[in-house]
Each structure stands twice: as structure tokens, then as C-alpha cells.
Amino acid sequence: NNTSQTAATKWDVTTTATPIKDVETKINAIAKEIGRRANTGSMGADVFSGLKDSDDILDRIKYTQTGIITADLLAAAMDLDNILIGERVKMTTADGIASETTAYIWGNYFLTSYVNPRNNRKSITHARTFTKRNAQVLMQEFEDKKLGGIYVEGALFYDHKIVSTISASLITDPVA
């Protein structure tokens, strides 16, 4: 279920790109596999920036909205319930290098997936966060006399797992 966009079909480069159709194709492929429509789109911040200027998206909303693309408008245009945009960055240079560079952690990807809104053990979903049964948040409190305050830390042990690979489809390099 993974595809890569060619230079001619990148969502932010050409006026003939069809991101809505590309995502709809992924939604239909997932529906044929698991019997449920994909409901979530996940992307890096660069992909979201590219989609905001896409003619395909702007044409879909130009007579109904202000023309400024938000995550909610993009979700509605692509017939998805949720759009997740990864905006956090990571350091990409090795330690000790004088000039530091950063990159978005979610990269240049668009993931279409079915995420079950009800979190029960036997339902199909793309990924799930597992915690120990009856797990409690471990709390620790300590006082900092130098700064004059009491600090509280909380910890919870969890594990993120992909549960079903057929309930998601990845588009790599959707923008230039």
C-alpha cells in the first residue's frame, strides 16, 4: 500500500497534481481490505505547507471558504475525520558540528489510515498505544530550595505498536 509521487505528480509543483484523488484512492484501497473507510491523514509540516498552495485543494474550497487552508478544511476536502500535522523538529547534525541543522520528525510523507475511535482490544485499527493493565502514573515530588519551588514529575510506561498494516497506506515524497 505504499506509493511514491513522481516529479510530475508532486502535490505542490504542478497545477495538474491531484492530491484529493490520490488520497481517495488510498481510502478506497483500505476500505476494500478491512471493510472500513480510512478516517485519518498524518503528514509532516512540509507536506501541509505544500498542500496549502495546491490548486486541487484551493479549487475545492474557493467558493465556500476564505481560501486559507486549515487542518479542518483539508480534512473536509479529503473526506477524512482527522488530519494530524507533525510540526516538531529534530537535530540532524552529529554532536560537535558547529553548524546545526534541523528537520521535521515526520518528514515528507502522507499516511492515510483507519484509526478506530473506540479503543478496545479486538477491534481493527492501524496503531495503538499499550499500557500495563491498571497502570498508574508514577508521581515524584521534589523541592528546589535554590529556585524556591516544588516540582512534580509524572511517568507512565507505554508502548506504541502498529496493529494492522493493511489499515494504512503511505505516500512518500508527496511534495518537492
**Residue ranges of the chain with per-residue pLDDT less than 50:** none
Phi, psi of 102 (to 5 degrees): -125, 160
40-51 confidence digits (pLDDT tens): 999 999 999 999
pLDDT at res. 65: 67
CB atoms within 10 A of CB 152: 8
119-155 confidence digits (pLDDT tens): 777 889 999 888 877 778 889 998 988 888 888 888 8
**Beta strands of 25-93 (E only): which ranges?**
40-44, 82-86, 89-91
pTM of the model: 0.81
pLDDT at res. 78: 93
Separation between Cα atoms, residue 15 and residue 166, nearest integer Å? 31
